[in-house]
């Protein structure tokens, strides 16, 4: 059979080679395509297909085919050589085409600028000049003078605010344009009310002076972002910030500064923008029924280089909190949706109907309960407003829209993650009353995970020991330790807990101070604590009913903790594990590895081998508080698809 397959393959390859020698590459390609599914393990077929594709000019497809071949047959040297050759040629060809096109565009813009200059200064035809300059702007190729001349047109049609923003855009790309700088100074002197400080917050005003040259947002809209971000951080609401539409990065740097100054938990700001100006508007994108392009703020406007955002963030010392994402929203949001995690603030500054719609569709469900939305162009662009209300209708919601100035609005998320029908309202209220995170204690557990820990400790322990004993391996800042303590106080007045934690997080000492009557801290590694604990328990025969394992996440570390601590667990007692994750798959691999510094945690494997196979423990299903809440162990981390909690609970069944 194998010989027949090889003969058949050779026959096909020879036929295809004959066709390619006759320059009939298309029929050769058809022959390869028909044969590859029949003989998937024959590398010569894909190699021949790549050659045929390259000869008919489909270089991208040829490169893809070679990559597939090398993935399956990494030792195929001819494929590697051909791939290198095609890749080098392709890059060179693309660069040549790019530079040729760029030169053509620049030449076209130069002609437009000359004509516009004549129309403005000699013929006085401002409107024709304005139309030409908007055409040049739409080509998205920055050239000195476009926005400077646009500013002249805006002044002539009595729009000093637009003139000011055009000059700021000119100077972002061409800071050496002294005439533009001089004109900007004159406009500011003539219309000082446009930038005068109307907000009496000294901290905000100091920050405003730094970010003002990098943003088109009004002072009121910037203060709204500042205030809501500060409220989120001080209130310890979980979730990252996302900005869709950042231009030069003024609002981005402002929000990142608030994170740096006020946040109690890790959070990031993701800044999405094309960084090459606005995409083409649709027929919905009008202002007072005038099309966006006609207003002078259409295709290609609001442009800034990505470096502008980075430079400002460096200036304010907030670079570590900002992730810029380049691309149009319909592409970038789809790719980054899970990566941005859950959100507490979503800033929509996409202007257009389609942009606003894709932002809401992509990210609304990731905004946490009572999270904030700010829409900058709701009052100005009719398409933006239409998109907001269409989404509102689709979701059968009513947004509590609050005006900021003449165009910007904000609202808080009206709907919440629904409560699990199997969890009573009383349980939900009790949990939030006892949850230390809502009081500012840092945690590496999501709300669902903290609730499951609380529920387990309060509801599922056998209740045999007096005092109730428990062990926590890995306490971090002490939030989970406090949850256990608060939960157990509802069922017993006598508690005796042990925290095995070698490190000392800043908040941990404060937590221990609050719990010192009930908790003994063993500042040592988990295996070092075993003989100490064993001696205590054997002395009075009171073994712990509850052990939580959240220390070393490697397979070896978890396995050792199970072997060391399982014998100490009282009969019928509970052993709970944190960061138990599903096997790696294509859809979850990146997120899981991101959570754990590029390594797959070993909790699942160790639990399956020991808790399930060796000790035959009962797996206990603990209800989620909010079954649709995608928040992960730490809210700033990427969402792992299909994972709503990483808690795994077992009951000891042997006696």
pLDDT in tens, 256-267: 999 999 998 899
* pLDDT range class, residue 100, cuts 50, 70, 90: low
Kindly list the structural domains of the chain, giving each domain's residue range(s) and its CATH number in brackets, ordered by start: 2-75 (1.25.40.10), 109-194 (1.25.40.10), 204-412 (3.40.50.150), 425-651 (3.40.50.150)
**What's the pLDDT at 371?**
95
H/E stretch holding 547 reads strand 546-549
Predicted local distance difference test score (pLDDT) of residue 91: 60
Structure tokens at 602: 């070993």
| Chain mean position to CA 507 | 27
In terms of Cα–Cα distance, which of 89, 30, 42, 31 is closest to 69?
42
pLDDT confidence tier of residue 386, bands split at 50, 70 and 90: very high
Q: What is the pLDDT of residues 20-43, one digit of tens each?
A: 777 777 788 888 887 887 777 778
pLDDT at res. 286: 94
Neighbour count for residue 459 (Cβ, 10 Å): 13
Q: Which residues does 187 contact at the CB level (< 8 Å), separation at least 6?
A: 155, 160, 163, 164, 167
pLDDT at 329: 93
Q: How far is CA 459 from CA 443, 463, 487, 488, 574, in A?
A: 22, 10, 9, 9, 11
Say what the pLDDT of residue 231 is: 96
Q: What is the mean pLDDT of the chain?
A: 89
Q: What residues are paired with 473 via a beta bridge?
A: 500, 549
Q: Is the pLDDT of residue 98 over 60?
A: no
Handedness of CA 76, 81, 87, 89 (dihedral sign): negative
Distance CA 305, CA 375 (A): 23
Question: Which is nearest to 356 in space by CA: 394, 382, 323, 326?
Answer: 382
Residue 604: what pLDDT? 95
27: CB partners within 8 A, 6+ apart: 19
Distance CA 459, CA 453 (A): 10
In the predicted structure, residue 88 carries a pLDDT above the cut 50: yes
Is pLDDT above 90 for 596? no
Does the pLDDT value for residue 350 go beyond 70? yes
Percent pLDDT > 70 in the chain is: 95
pLDDT surpasses 60 at 366? yes
For residues 295-323, average pLDDT: 91
> CA 510, CA 502: separation in Å to the nearest integer?
16
Instruction: Using alpha carbons, select from 324, 186, 318 the residue that is nearest to residue 247.
Output: 324
Q: What is the DSSP letter of 420?
A: P
Q: What is the pLDDT of residue 608?
A: 97
**Whole-angstrom Cα distance, residue 356 to residue 409?**
13
* pLDDT tens per residue across span 154-178: 999 899 989 999 999 999 889 999 9
What is the reported pLDDT for 81? Answer: 79
For the chain, percent of residues with pLDDT exceeding 90: 57
Two structure tokens written together for 421 = 């029908």
pLDDT of residue 6: 46
Which residue did the predictor score with more confidence, 644 or 189? 644
Output the 3-class SS for 224-283.
HHHHHHHHHHHCCCCCEEEEECCCCCHHHHHHHHHHHHHCCCCCCEEEEECCCCCCCCCC
Q: Which of 137, 139, 142 is nearest to 162 (CA)?
A: 137
Is residue 248 within 8 A of residue 309, CB to CB? The reply is: yes
**Residue 383's pLDDT band (cuts 50, 70, 90):** very high
Query: Quick one: pLDDT at residue 655?
Result: 55
Rounded Cα gap, residues 224 and 555, in angstroms:
47
Question: Model confidence over 180-224: pLDDT tens digits?
Answer: 999 999 998 887 765 666 777 889 999 999 999 899 999 999 999
pLDDT digit string (tens) for 52-83? 888 877 787 888 888 888 777 777 778 877 88
Note the pLDDT of residue 5. 47
Predicted local distance difference test score (pLDDT) of residue 40: 73
| Beta pairing class for 286-287 and 290-291 | antiparallel
Residue 2's pLDDT is 41
Do 495 and 483 touch, CB atoms closer than 8 A?
no
Vertex 323 angle, CA 319 and 329, to 5°: 145
Q: Which of 325, 295, 294, 328 is nearest to 310 (CA)?
A: 325
CB within 8 A of 106, min separation 6: which ones? 141, 143
Q: How confident is the model at residue 9 (pLDDT cuts 50, 70, 90)?
A: low
CA neighbours closer than 13 Å in the CB half-sphere of residue 523: 6
The answer on pLDDT for 441 being more than 70 is yes
Supply the pTM of this predicted model: 0.78
Structure token pair of residue 599: 């390594």
* pLDDT of 13 over the 90 cut: no
**Tokens read off for 337:** 């949706």
What's the average model confidence in pLDDT over 512-530?
91
């Amino acid at each position: 059979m194998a010989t027949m397959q090889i003969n058949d393959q050779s026959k096909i390859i020879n036929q295809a080679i004959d066709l390619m020698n006759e320059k009939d590459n298309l029929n050769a390609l058809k022959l390869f395509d028909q044969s590859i599914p029949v003989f998937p393990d024959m590398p010569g077929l894909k190699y021949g297909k790549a050659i045929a594709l390259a000869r008919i000019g489909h270089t991208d497809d040829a490169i893809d085919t070679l990559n597939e071949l090398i993935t399956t047959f990494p030792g195929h040297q001819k494929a590697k050589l051909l791939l290198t050759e095609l890749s080098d040629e392709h890059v060179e060809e693309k660069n040549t085409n790019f530079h040729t096109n760029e030169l053509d565009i620049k030449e076209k813009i130069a002609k437009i600028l000359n004509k516009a200059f004549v129309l403005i200064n000699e013929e006085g035809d401002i409107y024709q000049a304005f139309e030409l300059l908007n055409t040049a702007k739409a080509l998205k190729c920055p050239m000195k003078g476009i926005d400077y001349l646009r500013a002249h047109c805006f002044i002539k049609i009595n729009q000093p605010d637009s003139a000011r923003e055009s000059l700021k855009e000119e100077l972002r790309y061409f800071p050496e344009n002294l005439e533009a700088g001089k004109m900007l100074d004159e406009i500011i002197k003539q219309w000082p009310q446009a930038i005068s400080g109307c907000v009496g917050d000294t901290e905000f005003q100091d920050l405003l002076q730094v970010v003002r040259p990098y943003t088109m947002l009004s002072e009121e809209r910037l203060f709204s972002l500042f205030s809501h971000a500060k409220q989120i951080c001080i209130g310890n609401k979980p979730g990252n910030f996302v900005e869709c539409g950042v231009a030069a990065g003024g609002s981005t740097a402002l929000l990142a500064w608030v994170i740096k100054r006020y946040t109690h938990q890790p959070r990031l700001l993701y800044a999405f923008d094309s960084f090459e100006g606005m995409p083409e508007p649709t027929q919905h994108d009008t202002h007072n029924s005038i099309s966006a392009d006609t207003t002078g703020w259409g295709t290609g406007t609001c442009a800034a280089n990505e470096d502008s955002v980075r430079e400002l963030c460096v200036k304010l010392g907030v670079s570590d909190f900002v992730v810029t994402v380049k691309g149009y929203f319909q592409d970038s949001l789809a790719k980054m949706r899970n990566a941005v995690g859950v959100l507490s603030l979503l800033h929509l500054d996409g202007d257009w109907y389609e942009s606003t719609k894709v932002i809401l569709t992509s990210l609304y469900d990731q905004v946490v309960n009572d999270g904030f939305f700010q829409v900058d162009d709701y009052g100005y662009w009719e398409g933006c407003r239409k998109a907001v209300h269409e989404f509102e209708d689709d979701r059968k919601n009513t947004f509590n829209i609050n005006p900021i100035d003449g165009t910007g609005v904000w609202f808080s998320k009206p709907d919440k993650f629904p409560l699990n029908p199997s969890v009573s309202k009383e349980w939900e209220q009790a949990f939030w009353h006892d949850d230390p995170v809502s009081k500012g204690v840092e945690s590496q557990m999501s709300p669902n995970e903290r609730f499951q820990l609380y529920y387990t400790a309060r509801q599922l322990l056998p209740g045999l020991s007096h005092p109730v004993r428990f062990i926590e391996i890995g306490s971090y800042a002490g939030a989970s330790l406090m949850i256990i303590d608060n939960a157990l106080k509802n069922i017993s007045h006598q508690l005796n807990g042990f925290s095995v934690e070698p490190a000392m997080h800043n908040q941990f000492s404060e937590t221990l101070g609050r719990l010192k009557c009930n908790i003994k801290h063993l500042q040592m590694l988990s295996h070092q604590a075993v003989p100490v604990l064993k001696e205590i328990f054997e002395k009075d025969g009171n073994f712990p009913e509850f052990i939580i394992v959240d220390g070393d996440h490697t397979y070896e570390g978890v396995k050792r903790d199970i072997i060391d601590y399982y014998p100490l667990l009282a009969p019928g007692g509970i052993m709970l594990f944190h960061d138990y994750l599903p096997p790696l798959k294509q859809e979850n691999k990146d997120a899981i590895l991101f959570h754990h510094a590029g390594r797959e945690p070993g909790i699942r494997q160790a639990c399956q081998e020991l808790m399930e196979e060796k000790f035959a423990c009962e797996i206990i299903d603990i209800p989620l508080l909010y079954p649709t809440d995608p928040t992960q162990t730490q809210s700033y981390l990427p969402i792992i698809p299909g994972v709503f909690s990483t808690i795994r609970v077992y009951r000891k069944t042997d006696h």
